[in-house]
Amino acid sequence: MRILALGVVAVLLAGCGGAGESGDSAAGVRNETAGVTDTSVLIGTHQPLTGPAAPGYATISKGAQAVYSYVNDGGGIHGRKIDYRVEDDGYNPTRTVEVVKKLVLQDKVFALVGGLGTPTHSKVVDFLTAEGVPDVLVSSGALAWDDPQGSPMTFGFQVDYTREAKILGTHIAEAMPGRKVGVLHQNDDVGRDGMAGLDRVIKDAIVSRQPYDPANADVLPQLTALRQSGAEVVVCECVPAFTALAILTAARLGYKPQFVVSSIGADVTTLTGLLADFGKRAGAEVSVPALLSGMVGAGYLPDVDSDDPWTTLFKEIHAKYIPDVALTDTVVFGMAQAYTFAQALKEAGRDLTRSKLLAAFESGKLEGPGMTPFAFSGESHAGYTGAYVFTVDSEVRTNVVREPMVTDRGDGPVTPAPSSRKTPAEVALVG
């Protein structure tokens, strides 16, 4: 018994401090050149490659890898080849923490690039801050990444859900005045932050808010409720599979609202693939053109259909490195993200350090694939600051109806974005 008592006392003594009281947090970069050699730089990411979230996201890292291969074949950045290590976390936060600790403590990556997901990535930001590891271009539109004081290592990438919803709300208010609006939203920050943006602009027009759970593919109850509320416009703060489910379910109910879809769910190539088979058996009224034409969507990266110079480059890379993977917005997302990171590496200079990488991000010199500027500066770590609005025509081609707009995440106005941006030739990443 005495030994037991001793053991207990030892444990008690061990944990005498409050578990939730934070010690002195030594924020700041550590191990400046971890993962860097003269000929290579090692970076890592966590992605859902398997499991329930893999559909829709698993191709991001394929697009990113294609760009890194392209850069490496062109001689790398300042002579360094980019070694991109993708860890599968299955969208499970526990595994995210494990694989990120592995990347940082064991593999000793230089930076974490494009870690995917809010529930997952939010659990490693504090760790990366404490370890002084750059955590750039997070693949999530949550607002949390923009906190230069609390998490100085972390930078966002895609336009946040609030900014984007403000722009979509503005479009609804101006192009569809007086119409009743319903919202179908994912029951997490995608939906919550998105609704916050809508509420800033068109709160009074919203007649119904229906959450869906990504684990439950039956959205019939939600669409039934939206129809009953009399909503003429349905804003979909959804991932692509649920945009497609919502459109199909509306068709099933004979309900024909105007769909307005946030950028994460408005990937027309993916939607076309998902909806392709239904017209064949149920007639032309549910063919892809019939289902998608008129849909309004938001985007912040160049459209796959456009003749934007960036699209041309991405198509070349796609054809050379990953011809078997369909060129969707998701793949373009991975490509744009990888390109932006490579650009930051170049900007950081030949003597690469973590501090120089962070400085490159905060320099405000990164311009590129996206249609609106990054907010990156010493004061803001938010990614793209706005989006454009498009509609889908009867041939399932996208047409921009509202040129790129920018705004903030608060009550600021929605204004046109600067019209000029660098082309791939001007960035001159390789060659």
Partner 1 sequence: MPALVRHLLWALLALVLVVALSLVIDPFTNVRLASVGYYLLAVAGLTVLTGLTGQVSLGHGAFLFLGAYTVGLLVIHAPALPIWVDLLAAAAVSGIAGALTGAAAARLHGPYLAGATLALAVGLPAVTQRFPELLGGSNGLGFTVSSLPPGLVGVVPTTRWQAWVVWATALLALVVLANLTTGPLGRQMRAVRDDEVSAALAGVRVGRTKVLAFLISAVCGGLAGGLQAFLLGTAAPGSFTPALSLALLAAVVLGGTGSLWGALWGAVALVYLQAGAEEFAHGFDLPTDVANFLPQAVYGVVLIVVVLVLPNGVHGVLRKFSRRRKESTV
Partner 2 sequence: MPDLLTLAMGGLTNGAVYAALGLALVIIFRATRVVNFAQPALALVCAYLAFTVNRATGGYWLGLLVALVAGAVLGALTERLLIRPLRSRGNELAPVIVTLGLLLVLQAVCGMIWSAEPRSFPYAFDFRGAFSPASVFVVVTVVVVAGAVLLLFGATPLGLRLRAAALRPDVAGLLGVRVGLMLTIGWVLAAVVGALAGVLAAPPFLSPTVLDTVFVYALTAAVIGGLDNPVGTILGGFVLGVALSFVSGLLGPELVTLAALAVLVLVLSLRPHGLFGSSVARRV
In the complex, the residues that contact partner 2 under the rule CB under 8 A are 49-52, 54-56, 58-59, 187, 211-213, 215-218, 220-222, 224-225, 227-228, 241, 244-245, 248, 251-254, 273-278, 280-283, 285-286
Nearest to 148 by CA among 4, 27, 298: 27
CA distance 164 to 300: 9
Q: Under a CB-based contact definition with an 8 Å cutoff, are residues 388 and 371 in contact?
A: yes
CA angle 142, 241, 184 (to 5 degrees): 60
The greatest distance separating any two alpha carbons of the chain, rounded to the nearest whole angstrom, comes to 82
Residue 222 interacts with partner 1 (CB under 8 A): yes or no: no
Which residue do the tokens 């930001």 mark?
125
Q: Nearer Cβ to partner 1, position 144 or 405?
A: 144
Q: Under a CB-based contact definition with an 8 Å cutoff, are residues 241 and 330 in contact?
A: no
CA distance 357 to 4: 52
Nearest to 30 by CA among 104, 83, 125: 104
Residue 62 interacts with partner 1 (CB under 8 A): yes or no: yes
Which of 23, 178, 410, 431 binds partner 1 (CB under 8 A)? It is 23
Residue 186's DSSP bridge partners are 212
Which of 27, 31, 78, 127 binds partner 1 (CB under 8 A)? It is 127
The least CB distance from residue 238 to partner 2, in Å, is 13
The least CB distance from residue 193 to partner 1, in Å, is 11
Q: Nearer Cβ to partner 1, position 320 or 350?
A: 320
Residues across the chain:
431
The least CB distance from residue 56 to partner 2, in Å, is 7
Residue 207 interacts with partner 1 (CB under 8 A): yes or no: no
Residue 122 interacts with partner 1 (CB under 8 A): yes or no: yes
Pick what 289 binds: partner 1, partner 2, none; C-beta below 5 to 8 Å, kind-dependent. Answer: none
The least CB distance from residue 327 to partner 1, in Å, is 16
Residue 425 interacts with partner 1 (CB under 8 A): yes or no: no
204 CB burial (10 A radius; 0-12, 13-18, 19+): exposed
**What values do phi and psi take at 175, rounded to 5?**
-90, -25
Q: Under a CB-based contact definition with an 8 Å cutoff, are residues 137 and 341 in contact?
A: yes
Q: Nearer Cβ to partner 2, position 249 or 385?
A: 249
Q: Nearer Cβ to partner 1, position 105 or 217?
A: 105
The least CB distance from residue 285 to partner 1, in Å, is 35
> Between residue 64 and residue 103, which ones bind partner 1 under the rule CB under 8 A?
87-88, 91-98, 101-102
Pick the piece of the chain touching partner 1 (CB under 8 A) from 4-12, 338-346, 392-400, 411-419: 4-12
Residue 36's DSSP bridge partners are 41
Q: Under a CB-based contact definition with an 8 Å cutoff, are residues 369 and 313 in contact?
A: no
Q: Nearer Cβ to partner 1, position 42 or 427?
A: 42
CA distance 258 to 241: 18
Neighbours of 145 (CB within 10 A): 26
Q: Under a CB-based contact definition with an 8 Å cutoff, are residues 407 and 167 in contact?
A: yes
Q: Nearer Cβ to partner 1, position 11 or 284?
A: 11
Pick what 16 binds: partner 2, partner 1, none; C-beta below 5 to 8 Å, kind-dependent. Answer: partner 1
Residue 5 interacts with partner 1 (CB under 8 A): yes or no: no
Which of 9, 105, 282, 428 binds partner 1 (CB under 8 A)? It is 105
Which of 120, 151, 330, 343 binds partner 1 (CB under 8 A)? It is 120
Q: H-helix or E-strand containing 386? A: strand 386-392
Rg (CA), the chain: 23
Q: What is the DSSP letter of 285?
A: G
Q: H-helix or E-strand containing 242? A: helix 240-253
Pick what 84 binds: partner 1, partner 2, none; C-beta below 5 to 8 Å, kind-dependent. Answer: none
Q: Nearer Cβ to partner 1, position 119 or 289?
A: 119
> Between residue 129 and residue 188, which ones bind partner 1 under the rule CB under 8 A?
130, 187-188
Interface residues with partner 1 (CB under 8 A)? Answer: 1, 3-4, 7-8, 10-23, 49-50, 54, 58, 61-62, 87-88, 91-98, 101-102, 104-106, 118-120, 122-123, 125-127, 130, 187-189, 192, 213-214
